[in-house]
Amino acid sequence: MTLLKALFLQVITLFFGLSAFAQQTDSAYIRQNFTKIERTIPMRDGVKLFTAIYIPKEKAKKYPILLNRTPYTVSPYGEDKFKTTLGPSSALLKEGFIYVYQDVRGKWMSEGEFVDVRPQLTGKKGKKDIDESTDTYDTIDWLIKNVGNNNGKVGIYGISYPGFYSTTSLPGAHPALKAVSPQAPVTDWFIGDDFHHNGALMLADAFNFYSSFGVPRPKPITPDRGPKPLPLPIKDNYRFFLSVGALKNVNAKYFGDSIKFWNDLMAHGTYDDFWKARNIRTHLKDVKPAVLVVGGFFDAEDTYGTFKTYEAIEKQNPKANNNLVVGPWFHGGWVRSTGDSFGDINFEHPTSAHYQEKIEYPFFMHYLKDGPKHQLAEATIFLTGSNQWKNFDTWPPADTEKKTLYFQPNGGLSFNKPTVATSFDEYESDPNAPVPYQDGVQERRTREYMVDDQRFAARRPDVKVYQTEVLTEDITLTGPLTADLFVSTTGTDADYVVKLIDVYPEDATSTLSTSVMMGGYQMLVRGEIMRGKFRNSFEKPEAFVPGQVTQVNYELPDVGHTFKKGHRIMVQVQNSWFPLADRNPQKFMDIYTADNQDFQKATHRIHHDTSHATGLVVTILKP
């Protein structure tokens, strides 16, 4: 073992040791300074929701309430059993808050029926008309009236699914609700979050999540009696999902007919009323609480939700106090890691501590405890590549220029439109030998794939690669990307995966581990899939005409990245991303009813000439 690697392992060991010590310290502090009570809070329709409440023992002050509503259990259960940490981060633990955790309707120890991403109701007429907004309102109302020593102010926060419940607190918010922080919030499960991206099923996540989360719960239960993850007969997830075959085989082989939401996924293959009802964004109007939307550029689950929640509030509430924070984080990495590195990439700063102490802490302190006015920018963004925090007055930033990186013959990529009359790359795609989403062998979908080296994919004949010359100056991209493809296929449907990649110089070296060859490293900056039949409408899919050049234009989630001088910009295009996304049979049909024999090879062309100028539209930050 090299000295550098030994030192690295010592640092990691020290970090986890300190983390464990900090948790033990927090746990002792919580027991000494909080009283825990458990209550079942009645909703307007009579259903009672299980709620754990941690109240400071010091009675000389009044405290604001910080609420977290979750489908993932408020455990440990029992008034003599305490969480090891409280609140969104340890920075707020000793500042004096009443911390409240609630099992949402139909989950764990709460009564009622659970509904995934429960639709928002409009025109409510009676006590039976409930949604997550009314449950939040009723919970806050009960807490304000029944928990002593509160100061009449409430904040809500949550990551991922709890981020969705944070968002749902905004429509018709209780007057006591002053500060809301949706963090990586679930927002649209057909267009961009978790289980679909642009209509393509995110197979590994949907299967693994619902194999346990989706198991029916006929009555209140605690985690020790709850569902357990499904053991897979093949540990290699690529081979396992190939062995499943067509999606219709999942129930026959593994789920039976018991996983309701999996059945919903299979029954609603277009953007129909089922999915539209679950789009919370259209209801984010007349927002009164202050909002802090938080997310990570490298979140494999809800990057879309972060940007689109902020965008919806901004557009529909121009006077709302609405701020955005995005860092170099995986899903929840702003509290689940130090944020100074991810995978093979070093960010050189403890970005999570910066967020917790300089952004989240003053946000809740100001709106809930009358602390000093926070000095947050409209958008606080960490630019990877250059590894620096930047403040912007708008997001995307105003001082930018849209340009297109055009595909060129012989794998070139430049800001110049191609000048040849006819040019294309032709290759065969076989859904029975799909392109893996990551190199190596994994049992479960990893989070690191969001920044991982793409050299393994560049070597495949069914992945087309385009790259610039070596950059002579830094180029910073801030905001959305748009893939503008001109393609043709011998099939009648196809998926298209576009990946934006930062190619490191040949003399680059690792600052994290000597085992990683960084010379020529192809860092994934952003990748996104588009199910081709939805290219014109998510509601009304259309077949491709074999051999006919067709435009496929779609948006990728926002980026904030600097391509440094001496690097190259690369774009890769492929037709599968397995088992991250399910396979397209390359045949126009309802994929959820496809048989194994429906999956067929197809020959594809990517066109890049004067009449069909394929490219990636980027937003460049002006120097």
Measured CA distances, 542 to 68, 368, 416, 469 (Å):
42, 51, 32, 37
User: What is the pLDDT at residue 25?
Assistant: 62
pLDDT mean over 67-74? 98
Top-level class of domain 400-621: mainly beta
Residue 263 binned pLDDT confidence (cut-offs 50, 70, 90): very high
Phi, psi of 498 (to 5 degrees): -115, 130
* H or E element, residue 64: strand 63-70
User: 3-188+278-392 maps to which CATH number?
Assistant: 3.40.50.1820
User: What is the pLDDT at residue 231?
Assistant: 86
Find the largest Cα–Cα distance for the chain: 80
By percentage, how much of the chain surpasses pLDDT 70?
96
By percentage, how much of the chain surpasses pLDDT 90?
91
pLDDT tens for residues 292-302?
999 999 999 99
Quick check: helix, strand or coil at residue 542?
Answer: coil
Which residue reads 């930047």 in tokens? 390
Query: Which amino acid does the sequence have at 570?
Result: M
The answer to whether 574 and 508 are in contact (CB under 8 A) is no
Query: Structural domain boundaries of the chain?
Result: 3-188+278-392, 196-276, 400-621
Q: Is 2 exposed, middle or buried (CB count within 10 Å of its CB: 0-12, 13-18, 19+)? A: exposed
pLDDT tens for residues 266-280?
999 999 999 999 999
**Low-confidence winner among 5-14, 53-62, 584-593, 604-613 (lowest mean pLDDT):** 5-14
Tell me the pTM. Answer: 0.95
User: What is the pLDDT at residue 5?
Assistant: 37
Structure tokens at 119: 């639709």
pLDDT tens for residues 277-332?
999 999 999 999 999 999 999 999 999 999 999 999 999 999 999 999 999 999 99
196-276 classified as CATH 3.40.50.1000: no
* CA–CA dist 58, 62 (Å, integer): 9
Residue 11 binned pLDDT confidence (cut-offs 50, 70, 90): very low
Measured CA distances, 584 to 112, 162, 189, 301, 597 (Å):
38, 32, 19, 21, 12
User: What is the pLDDT at residue 228?
Assistant: 83
User: What is the pLDDT at residue 23?
Assistant: 55
* CA–CA dist 518, 221 (Å, integer): 49
User: What is the pLDDT at residue 73?
Assistant: 97
* CA–CA dist 375, 423 (Å, integer): 53
User: What is the pLDDT at residue 9?
Assistant: 36
User: What is the pLDDT at residue 107?
Assistant: 97
Instruction: Tell me the Cα Rg of the chain.
Output: 25
* 373-381 contact pairs (CB < 8 A, 24+): 376/292, 376/323, 377/323, 378/323, 378/324, 379/323, 379/324, 379/325, 379/326, 380/323, 380/324, 380/325, 380/326, 381/324, 381/325, 381/326, 381/327, 381/478, 381/560
Provide the β-strand partners of residue 99.
Answer: 54, 66
CA dihedral 226, 76, 141, 112 (to 10 degrees): 10
User: What is the pLDDT at residue 514?
Assistant: 64
Mean pLDDT of the chain: 94
User: What is the pLDDT at residue 280?
Assistant: 97
pLDDT mean over 26-55? 96
User: 530: number of CA atoms within 13 Å, CB side?
Assistant: 24
Structure tokens at 22: 């900090």
CA dihedral 11, 12, 14, 17 (to 10 degrees): 170
Is residue 19's pLDDT more than 70? no
Q: Angle, to 10 degrees, between the axis of helix 260-267 and the axis of helix 203-213?
A: 150
pLDDT mean over 364-393? 95
User: 134: number of CA atoms within 13 Å, CB side?
Assistant: 22
User: What is the pLDDT at residue 24?
Assistant: 58
